[in-house]
A and B are shown apart, each in its own frame.
Chain A
Amino acid sequence: MRSQKIGTVAFWSLVVALLTYMTLPTIVVLMTSVNPTEILAFPPQGVSFDWYVKAVTYPDFRIAFKNGLIVTACASTLALIVGSAFAWLIHHYDFRGRGLLEGVLWSPLIIPHFTLGFGFLLLGGAFGVQQGYVMIVLAHMVLVMPFVTRAVHVSLANIDPALARAAANLGASPFQVLTRITLPLVVPGMAGGWLIAAVLSLTEFTASLYVTGSRTQTLPVAMYNYIREYADPTVSAISALLIIATTLIMLVADRTIGLRRVLAIDTH
């Protein structure tokens, strides 16, 4: 009995310790964002939302946020189109080099973003492409491709193959099977993949540092440049806003399209 109690206490202590360890850095940043004075103090010495006002009115952040949205929209959409095509190919055909293709598609998961960003920069130099939208979009597209491809691949694999046969049996031509059965069933997966890609692209920093120029910098890069010059809670405030925004996007996505199911986190 006694040892069981000790076990329970040890278990919950471990859970609490793990949760604290994982969330503490974020909590610290969030708390410093409400500090009334101009220093990044922890714990905060009061509560003020002045830094939030500064964060949303600061011109560099506004431009960077707009840049980020443009890049995210383009990169995620392009990744969705190309990634869906690859997912379709991998799902439907068994061809020579399929394993290699899959490996290449997953590679951004193991190759450091630093390397990819640096590589794109060197490649751009060789082909005379400036740091700018084109280079950022191309880099982000590569970075988010594995997630989109996986989301679409999983939803394709989850479709009972008998559905296509049932539709054909009822008189649907192959094209009608695609538009009436397959597409409606993979759209949630595509939407989920696009959202994950968008969130990753919006918050990506390491690769973006190399491929953005001064006028095309995205929000995380702008935040980095800001904190190199000023050490006030504005960056904490903008961080908080970014976290809240992405959390909201994920929550809404989970409610509307069942994000967990789409991304195969829930296996049923």
Chain B
Amino acid sequence: MTETAIIHPSKEAGSAVDIVRVRKDFGSAVGVADVSLTIRNGEFVTLLGPSGCGKSTLLGMIAGFVTPTAGKIVVDGADITDLEPYRRDIGMVFQSYALFPHMNVHDNIAFGLRMRKLPAAQVEKEVARAIAMMKLEGFEARRVRQLSGGQQQRVALARAIVIRPKVLLLDEPLSALDKNLRAQMQVELSELHRKTGLTTIFVTHDQGEALSLSDRIVVMNKGAVQQVAAPIELYRQPANGFVASFIGEINALPPGRCELKDGTASLVLPGVGPLVFPTAPATGFAPGRQVRAFLRPEHVRPVLAGEAGPNVVTGKVEAHIYQGSHTITRVVVEGIGLVETRVTGAEIVASAPVGASLGLAFDLSEAVLLDTAD
């Protein structure tokens, strides 16, 4: 990790950003509700949530464009809550990139260094390094309007990192790109983060981007933090129904009761019967407790009609959603409702046509049990 030293020569581990009970009210509406969050040095953290969840407002408060109603923001040990944006030393990439249209690529990247009154020779050296890092050689004299979306994105990144910010903020920077370019920029963002070791806060509503890029994901809804976890944990152990259904596809089973009889743990669904946990039941299991089980489509397996067995229910095929490598099949099961199953290939489209009855085996080993109130 020698490249880390390029940006942060002497950084010991610790917290880079401390958000302490930060709140933002818009009139009587709550934009951000008492959010507390600690972001470690060098961490890549994603604020994820639907539009209007408060993620952009929170980012705006870190950058200094939005004044918190209450709470405190500490960066690198210094309270910056009331500091003007231009004194914060925080890099930012905007959704629209916000490149200066009257300047060329070089001057855009040099802007922050010139504002810091660095000697010209040093400005040139730093700009050249940022240009090399973002593979923008040869574009220095171009007007920003003449660049493609991907190139503009790289200029925006170069401009933000060249000032050696304490934190790098990315506000939905990939949303303006087409699908292929977005995948490529994800790889480049990852690489940039690895090379610079910059503490990065990334805002997105795209769970795919969040899962692939982040060390930790902060899921937000209605101004409040729903869960803070690493991508794998978030996917396998969502803290509540919102997180469960926001991250990936998931089947929400109707409320049922946990039962433990003769050493066998099961979930009793009214009108359906008991579904048996194959091994030790999932976290959240307690005899007598009312729960809702959430089950990913890959843990629901279609079985041949008539094949009986534990945890097999039968329903009517409603639709197939063919997606190339796999097919999502929607089945309506009496007493449960709509259940999605996900299988490799497309054979199921022919073997279980729409309207046919289909057996589904539930693998409860990966089920997530949540309080009925969540």
Do A and B belong to a common assembly?
yes
Residues of A within 8 A of B (CB): 160, 162-163, 165-174, 176, 180-181, 184-185
Q: Which residues from chain B contact A176 at a C-beta distance below 8 Å?
A: 86, 115
Q: Does B242 reach chain A (CB closer than 8 Å)?
A: no
Q: Are B115 and A172 in contact (CB under 8 A)?
A: yes
Closest chain B residue to A181 by CB distance? B100
Assembly CA distance A41 to B75 (angstroms)? 83
Q: Are A169 and B96 in contact (CB under 8 A)?
A: no
Q: Which residues from chain A contact B102 at a C-beta distance below 8 Å?
A: 184-185
Closest chain A residue to B95 by CB distance? A162
Between A and B, 14 residue pairs with Cβ closer than 8 Å are A162-B98, A163-B101, A166-B94, A166-B98, A167-B100, A168-B65, A169-B85, A169-B86, A170-B86, A170-B111, A171-B116, A172-B115, A176-B86, A176-B115
Q: Does B130 reach chain A (CB closer than 8 Å)?
A: no
The 9 closest A-B pairs by CB, nearest first: A170-B112, A171-B115, A162-B98, A166-B98, A168-B85, A168-B86, A169-B92, A162-B94, A184-B102
A-B Cβ contacts below 8 A, count? 61
Q: How far is the CB of A189 from chain B (nearest CB, A)?
A: 12
Assembly CA distance A171 to B356 (angstroms)? 65
Assembly CA distance A173 to B86 (angstroms)? 6
Q: How far is the CB of A53 from chain B (nearest CB, A)?
A: 46
Assembly CA distance A166 to B65 (angstroms)? 10
Tell me which of A166, A169, A172, A176 has the highest count of chain B C-beta atoms within 10 A of its own C-beta. A169
Q: Which residues from chain A contact B160 at a C-beta distance below 8 Å?
A: 169
Q: Does B159 reach chain A (CB closer than 8 Å)?
A: yes
Q: Which residues from chain B contact A171 at a C-beta distance below 8 Å?
A: 86-87, 89, 112, 115-116, 163
Residues of B within 8 A of A (CB): 63-65, 84-92, 94-96, 98-102, 111-112, 115-116, 159-160, 163
Q: Which residues from chain B contact A166 at a C-beta distance below 8 Å?
A: 92, 94, 98-100
Q: How far is the CB of B73 from chain A (nearest CB, A)?
A: 15
Tell me which of A168, A172, A181 has the highest count of chain B C-beta atoms within 10 A of its own C-beta. A168
Assembly CA distance A162 to B92 (angstroms)? 11
Q: Are B98 and A163 in contact (CB under 8 A)?
A: yes
| From A169, A173, A185, contact of B90 by CB (8 A) | A169
Q: How far is the CB of B346 from chain A (nearest CB, A)?
A: 45
Q: Which residues from chain B contact A170 at a C-beta distance below 8 Å?
A: 86, 111-112, 115, 159, 163
Known: A165-B65, A166-B92, A167-B111. A172 touches B98 (CB 8 A): no
Assembly CA distance A165 to B115 (angstroms)? 14
